[in-house]
Amino acid sequence: MLNPGLAHNPFVAKIAGVDVMDVISFQMFANLASLLVATIGIVLVARFLKEDKGYVAEGLEIEEDFHVKPLYALMPVLPILILLVGSTGLVPALKMGVPHAMIIGAIITIAVTRANPSDLGKAFFEGMGKAYGSIIGIIISAGVFVAGLTSIGLVKAFISAMVDNPAIVKLCAAVGPFLLGLVTGSGDAATFAFNEAITPHAADFGLTSLQMGSMATLGGTLGRTISPIAGATIICAGIAGVNPIEITKRNGLPILAALLTGMIVLLF
């Protein structure tokens, strides 16, 4: 959610007519509050179920010649740190666009890791191309879907119904993408569709585009987080040796509390 590379952040920024870092600055406290509530909730559940001690991993062994290099590990998050610090205004020199931060991060990574510039350059553009391909594909799909709904008058009818019941909009903005993310295992399609169709009309419901777009993004992200068919959930279930639905059940209340917390912060 705090990553300017997340497809939804520039999408909301375009709708609101602001810079992507303005979107991240706006939703930062809501995201951190949601993270804090979810973390506390999951820890409490673990203590209540007596899962917080005594676990011994099976079949997982660290190679003897493996050594952690903290400085290397910091390199991938360096561009994000540059953008976040720059957006606060504390260091004016660091206020820059995403491409600039990425290039600076890549140059520093070469200097720190002494990697082959040619190999790193190929990996940089390969990753960027893959990300753009996936993101643009989802955006186009969402746009086509919304265009179809608009052509049959469903979006207009939906907006008219919500104008008469503005309280529903504040609930649907986060809960709608949350439920779809939970059911489908991906909050991206639902969030893009909602933001494409409804967020441009946020002013009609007494909200700003930043508020509504951020609520939809947070809702879709949290819904995907506990979906039993999400990739991360399946991996965690495999490590724990349980059915993925068990993870959804045990983490349901903490994630719902995180969703409510994020909605409150974004609305007020």
CA distance 181 to 8: 14
Asked, for residue 58, whether it belongs to a domain, the answer is: no
CA distance 48 to 26: 35
CA distance 1 to 214: 9
Determine the average pLDDT of the residues in 78-104. Answer: 84
Asked, for residue 263, whether it belongs to a domain, the answer is: yes
First to last CA, the chain: 19
pLDDT given at position 17:
92
Asked, for residue 180, whether it belongs to a domain, the answer is: yes
CA distance 176 to 29: 22
Asked, for residue 61, whether it belongs to a domain, the answer is: no
pLDDT given at position 161:
66
pLDDT given at position 86:
83
Asked, for residue 3, whether it belongs to a domain, the answer is: no
pLDDT given at position 210:
92
Asked, for residue 2, whether it belongs to a domain, the answer is: no
Per-residue pLDDT of 133-189, as tens digits, reads 666 665 666 567 667 766 887 766 766 666 666 667 777 888 888 887 887 777 777
Residue with the larger pLDDT of the pair 124 and 247 = 247
Determine the average pLDDT of the residues in 235-240. Answer: 81
The pLDDT > 70 percentage for the chain reads 86
Half-sphere exposure of 139 (CA within 13 A, CB side): 14
* Domain that includes residue 16, residue range: 8-52+68-267
Per-residue pLDDT of 173-210, as tens digits, reads 888 888 878 877 777 777 887 888 888 888 887 889 99
Asked, for residue 1, whether it belongs to a domain, the answer is: no
CA distance 226 to 34: 14
Per-residue pLDDT of 17-46, as tens digits, reads 998 888 988 999 999 999 999 999 999 998
Q: pTM to 2 decimals?
A: 0.69
The pLDDT > 90 percentage for the chain reads 24
Spell out the alpha helix ranges (H) of the chain: 8-16, 20-48, 70-74, 78-88, 98-113, 117-151, 154-164, 166-184, 188-197, 209-225, 231-240, 244-267
Q: Is the model's pLDDT at 55 over the cut of 70?
A: no
pLDDT given at position 153:
77
The amino acid at 100: H
CA distances from 124 to 10, 79, 208, 256 (A): 20, 13, 36, 37
Per-residue pLDDT of 94-118, as tens digits, reads 888 878 888 898 899 889 988 888 8
Domains: count for the chain:
1
Asked, for residue 59, whether it belongs to a domain, the answer is: no
Q: Is the model's pLDDT at 218 over the cut of 90?
A: yes
Average pLDDT, the chain: 83
